[in-house]
Amino acid sequence: MKHHVNFTPGPSQLYFTVADHVREAFKEGIPSLSHRSKKFEQIFGAATDGLRELLNIPTNYHIFFTGSATEIWERLFQNLVEESSFHLVNGSFSKRFHEIGIQLNKNAQKIEVPAGQGFESNVKIPNGVELIAVTHNETSTGVSLPLQAIADIRSANPDSLIAVDAVSSLPYPSFDMTNTDSVFFSVQKGFGLPAGLGVWMVNDKCIQRAETLTARKISTGSYHNLATLRAHAEKNQTPETPNVLGIYLLSRVVADFLRRGIDNIRKETDYKAAVLYQALENCPHTSPFVKEKQSRSKTVIVADCGEHTEKLSAFLATRGLHAGDGYGAAKKTQLRFANFPAHSKEQYELLADSIKEFTI
Amino acid sequence: MKHHVNFTPGPSQLYFTVADHVREAFKEGIPSLSHRSKKFEQIFGAATDGLRELLNIPTNYHIFFTGSATEIWERLFQNLVEESSFHLVNGSFSKRFHEIGIQLNKNAQKIEVPAGQGFESNVKIPNGVELIAVTHNETSTGVSLPLQAIADIRSANPDSLIAVDAVSSLPYPSFDMTNTDSVFFSVQKGFGLPAGLGVWMVNDKCIQRAETLTARKISTGSYHNLATLRAHAEKNQTPETPNVLGIYLLSRVVADFLRRGIDNIRKETDYKAAVLYQALENCPHTSPFVKEKQSRSKTVIVADCGEHTEKLSAFLATRGLHAGDGYGAAKKTQLRFANFPAHSKEQYELLADSIKEFTI
């Protein structure tokens, strides 16, 4: 097969072990395995235990599977919000998260900054909101929220639950989970897996909040409410017939990541990001879209390429390097580059060299 | 690989072409394909156009994808029921469908008959219920609802919407879709695919009902409400990042079914069911669980084996024939056999011969 690297930020490049794991899955009969079998319970346990180790998830956190991270947006409101939530909005995905609250008839409030900008640590959040929703990595703009900002939000709002959308950043960020109540992602980005699986982590405080809503006769949903998810997860099961193959592949890639070492993955991510940001700054035809260095994402890097966007994209493609389009209205003026564990240092060096050699 | 046939009714035996389609998918880059690409739209279109042809779905019906059929249960209540639904309950899955209505704070009423029994055509349904929920094939008991019963329910209740759970029967039944408003299934049963995808078909009347609820400020959900699903499906897209590989595999297996011919599939299903029911009747140690012949499912065949259950299951396993356990409390006294397009006539003949040869 022709050399081809997919830098689109999701679905993105598959992790290099996935094709082998799929072959193994077919050999072992995983695609037709009963989700009520012992073998499935082992796979569920391997996936969740592995994630717990990889991401340093405390024991008061539970790990559940959904169909997508989009589903998790909806479930967060259903299970944790009776009245009000507050959203830090700085791009299309944080905006959609907020809109889902409105659709579900919640009083979803927001603070919004222009695309490409991040948030200060001292965001003013109204007293008494039940849920504060932050997007750790805004996939549309390449803006990341510093971990210290999450810690500061926690200190200033000790009574609110904090949900962190880490869809396009995990496994890179080393969250202090005590500063969050729920963290979630989907597998087709940083984990380099086929799409069709969301991973939802919640602590006991979330479970209790959902129980409180139920006690007040407020529906928290059905098969994927927190009580039902937890009752099944305690048996290493899911309420519904899940994406069994997806959970199996996740368990295998998490094991691969553990062997490689999360510290190595993080260091390599830093290195690759530095290489690309430097290339974008040095190239006369490109610049990083995000100006404040502390807000620049390490995992989704957005380049302003103006009128040269199409030409640069085509030039990179001749080398087998497939950039992601800019998001929405920025399609004609920006390119996006996923920097996930599936992308090697060599691929990033080739990408940076190619940008250096790009002439108009 | 050792000869092994999986007769569990879901996840079940993979259709024999699936492994090849997965190899092709990896060659074509499907597992990391963007769900906003032209190529994805073609795959979505191939899957839905193929289903339309295979199942003779009229143009006033829309086809949507969800994470599971369990999700569709929930979405039906959210989008179609403001107050009340009515359920024909005759086993664990129709019971769960009803319970989800209760969990969502609907006035979900029911008529219930003992496991193994079906419904008469003249089921008395209260006037004015918004949704009548019928389970075409109760996977736990092997009871099927005759198509005439659905037609009769329609005639007697012209003002209610009718939703048909066909999870473990499609593509076998030849529904007259004008007698239904919504039909749904999941791919890991009759379509012989890896689990992780539900297929939800609704007509324009359902879309209008959801619009009415929205106009009355009743939340119908968010990313998977009918309006959002339809807006995206019109572009051959999904609201969220879906199980792209699952939709691709469905499009390919549907094309395989079309080449084989739905009439042939239905005839072979009838033949295989007849062979097994006869073997169960003739064997002194087994009998069909469902006594009324007209209620006997063609696609999930349940055998009463009493004290010989474990021994028969072990005997069949020595021949590579893996029966499904009885459901729930019937685990120790029944076996279940899926009769899906993935199961060949030869496998069914071997199964029947083996039951004939079984001695205690």
User: ipTM value of the model?
Assistant: 0.96
Give the distance from residue A214's alpha carbon to the nearest chain B alpha carbon, in angstroms: 10
Partners of B89 in the β-ladder: B112
Distance CA B222, CA A210 (A): 19
Q: Which pLDDT score, from 0 to 100, does residue B121 have? A: 77
Tell me which chain B residue has its CA closest to the CA of residue A240.
B70
Per-residue pLDDT at A120: 81
The CA R_g of chain A, rounded to the nearest whole Å, is: 20
Per-residue pLDDT, averaged over B155-181, amounts to 97
Residue B122's pLDDT is what? 83
Of B34, B194, B245, the CB nearest to A244: B194
Contact B194 A245 (CB under 8 A): yes
- What is the tens place of the pLDDT at every residue in B70-128? 999 999 999 999 999 999 999 999 999 999 999 999 999 999 999 999 998 789 999 99
| Contact assessment for residue A128 and residue A84, using Cβ atoms and an 8 Å cutoff | yes
Contact A86, A109 (CB under 8 A): yes
Q: A235 by DSSP, 3-state: which?
A: coil
Q: What is the pLDDT of residues B274-323, one digit of tens each?
A: 999 999 999 999 999 999 999 999 999 999 999 999 999 999 999 999 99
Ramachandran category for residue B286: left, alpha or beta (phi over 0 → left; psi -120 to 50 → alpha): beta
Determine, for residues A194 and B31 on separate chains, whether the beta-carbon distance falls below 8 Å.
Answer: yes
Q: Is pLDDT at B338 greater than 90 in this prediction?
A: yes
pLDDT of residue B287: 97
Helix intervals (H) in chain B: 18-28, 38-55, 69-80, 92-103, 147-156, 204-215, 226-233, 244-260, 262-282, 309-318, 345-357
| Strand (E) or helix (H) holding B336 | strand B334-338
Amino acid B360: pLDDT: 82
B214-225: average pLDDT: 96
Q: What angle do CA B189, B191, B194 make, to 5 degrees?
A: 70
Q: Which is it for strands B137-138 and B107-112: parallel, antiparallel or unpaired?
A: unpaired
pLDDT number for residue B120: 81
pLDDT at B163: 98
Q: Is the pLDDT of residue B2 over 70?
A: no
Tens digit of pLDDT for each residue in B318-327? 999 999 999 9
Each residue's pLDDT tens digit, B12-23: 999 999 999 999
Q: Between residues 7 and 66 of chain B, which touch chain A (CB distance below 8 Å)?
A: 8, 10-14, 18-19, 22, 26-27, 29, 31-35, 66
Tell me if chain B has a CB within 8 Å of the CB of A85: no
- Rounded to the nearest angstrom, the minimum Cα separation between A205 and chain B is 22
Q: Do B195 and A4 touch (CB under 8 A)?
A: no
Query: In the numeric block, which tokens belong to residue A176?
Result: 């202090």
Q: What is the pTM of this model?
A: 0.97
Band (pLDDT 50/70/90 cuts) for residue B240 is very high
B243 → closest Cβ in A8, A195, A221: A195
Q: Which tens digits make up the pLDDT trace of B182-219?
A: 999 999 999 999 999 999 999 999 999 999 999 999 99
Tell me which residue in A19, A195, A196 faces B26 most closely, judged by beta carbons: A19
**Residue B254 scores a pLDDT above 90:** yes
Given a cut of 70, the residues of chain A with pLDDT beneath it are 1-2
Is residue A105 within 8 angstroms of chain B, CB to CB? yes
